[in-house]
Structure 1
């Protein structure tokens, strides 16, 4: 009976996945939203059944993607399927919410890198280089149009070119950020759904309680010092590594700063809208974002929260 139940449940979720996959591929606007629900069948199977069963379901889903979609449906299945399997497996093992999130994000990132490597090596398609080339061509076309109309704007186009070069440099950082951001929204949408089907999801701690290890601050300082001392040549391996590492660690500092603002607001009994408004304004105004990052550095370095706690005692 158990095997029959497993087969029936697997068949149902495969059918659901096939429908979701077809909507994602063939219905442009709605598909962009349904995209975030694709991992749900994988989460359900991985959370309720053994890993062997989950892997069999994954293989079946890949085969289904060949039938219901096109060759381009396979990368979608690999990407969201692996992410869903990892998240579901962590849920089955009763891991914490943060651990589950990090594992899912890393799975999404590794799957993205794997798909990218396969597309470059076997299909001769480098979507990163093509995207950069498209941006450069768009800027060049706009510059030619401005010149034809007798208008300047050289400084603007120089800034745009510099921006494209910076994007090219920060591709590793952008991939990491996009992976973590995507999985954040995946969980935000998927967890309420799988809860309704009896999957237990651990409660997440309030954002105000988030605090990174103090070692993150030391890594950040070492990255800055290394950049100043080594001064690597632009475009070199060390330049790319240090720039991306610094940006990633800066993001950690900013998150730490926002967490401190939410913590301070909670402790002081400020309106709930206050930290949200502060977050939005900081994202819109770079100077405020710099202050938030500084708060994160001070919080990690000098333990501002502990000082607030000691005063309240």
Structure 2
């Protein structure tokens, strides 16, 4: 009876996944929303059954996606399926919510990097480089139109645009990390309430205001910042790319620390919960606020502002 129940549950979840996959592929607007639920069947199955059964479920989903979808459905299944299996396995073993999030993010990131490498190496499809080339062509065409209209292009602006494009190209690894973290966060946000409805026990997040990053990150950040000032690196070289991406990730973590302090300070003063929400939204809309929060995060991590507030 147990095997029959497992097979029945697996068949229902596979059918649900197939429907969501078809909507994701063939219905553009609705598919963008349904896309976030693709990991849900895998999380539910892996949270209730052992790893061997989960692997069989994953293989069945891959074969099914190849049959009902197209060849391009396989990368979707591998990315969201493996991420869901890992997250569900961590849930089944009663790991903390943060551990589930981290494991899912790493799995999704590895899928993203491997699939990108395969697309470039075997199919000669470098969509990132093609997008960057398209942006450069658009800039060149805009400058050409200005010249045709008899206006002199702003060389300073052109240099800034090209520098921005070069920086974007250098930050591709960090962008992959951010995409993975954001995607898994959204997957948890939409999937876990549904998983709970089916009787699966999932740990709760600790409050964001209590988040404090390891103090060692501050030393890494200072070291990387000093290295960027005093060590001359070749633009596009390995060391330049590594240093640029390390700085980007560490700066992003300092911003998170700063936002966490703002939420903590607001809670300690008993102010309205709407205030930190508004500030968080404004930080990503108004760039100058981003630097203020970034500095606040550094001060909080370096000088223990929260302990000083308690005193």
TM-score (ref. length: structure 1): 0.96
1:45-70 Cα distance to aligned partner (Å, 9 max, x none): 11010011111100111101100110
Q: What is aligned with 2:269?
A: 268
2:188 matches 1:191: no
Q: What is the distance in 2 between the residues matched to 1:293 and 1:18?
A: 43
Q: What is aligned with 1:5?
A: 5
Q: What is aligned with 1:222?
A: 223
- Alpha-carbon distance, 1:30 to partner: 0.4
Q: What is aligned with 1:48?
A: 48
Q: What is aligned with 1:257?
A: 258
Q: What is the distance in 2 between the residues matched to 1:152 and 1:96?
A: 59
Deviates more, 1:60-69 or 1:190-199: 190-199
Q: What is aligned with 2:141?
A: 141
Kindly report which structure 2 residues correspond to 1:151-166, keeping only aligned pairs within 5 A, or say none.
Answer: 151-154=151-154, 155-166=156-167
Q: What is the distance in 2 between the residues matched to 1:287 and 1:126?
A: 34
- Alpha-carbon distance, 1:280 to partner: 2.1
Q: What is the distance in 2 between the residues matched to 1:76 and 1:284?
A: 31
Q: What is the distance in 2 between the residues matched to 1:15 and 1:185?
A: 23
Kindly report which structure 2 residues correspond to 1:278-289, keeping only aligned pairs within 5 A, or say none.
Answer: 278-289=279-290
- Alpha-carbon distance, 1:229 to partner: 2.7
Q: What is aligned with 1:300?
A: 301
1:156-209 Cα distance to aligned partner (Å, 9 max, x none): 333322221111011111111111011111111111111111121111111101
Q: What is the distance in 2 between the residues matched to 1:271 and 1:75?
A: 44
Q: What is aligned with 2:68?
A: 68
Kindly report which structure 2 residues correspond to 1:236-255, keeping only aligned pairs within 5 A, or say none.
Answer: 236-255=237-256
1:281-308 Cα distance to aligned partner (Å, 9 max, x none): 2222222211111111111111111222
Deviates more, 1:152-161 or 1:266-275: 152-161
- Alpha-carbon distance, 1:213 to partner: 0.6
Q: What is aligned with 1:21?
A: 21
Q: What is the distance in 2 between the residues matched to 1:297 and 1:121?
A: 41
Q: What is the distance in 2 between the residues matched to 1:297 and 1:133?
A: 36
Local SS of the residue matching 2:123:
coil
Q: What is the distance in 2 between the residues matched to 1:291 and 1:111?
A: 35
Deviates more, 1:126-135 or 1:139-148: 139-148
Q: What is aligned with 1:104?
A: 104
Deviates more, 1:4-13 or 1:299-308: 299-308
Local SS of the residue matching 1:200:
coil
Q: What is the distance in 2 between the residues matched to 1:171 and 1:131?
A: 12
User: Which runs of 4 or more aligned residues in structure 1 lie more than 6 Å from their structure 2 counterparts after TM superposition?
Assistant: none
Deviates more, 1:147-156 or 1:194-203: 147-156
2:36 matches 1:31: no
Q: What is the distance in 2 between the residues matched to 1:187 and 1:75?
A: 20
Q: What is aligned with 1:231?
A: 232
Deviates more, 1:232-241 or 1:277-286: 277-286
Q: What is the distance in 1 between the residues matched to 2:88 and 2:17?
A: 15
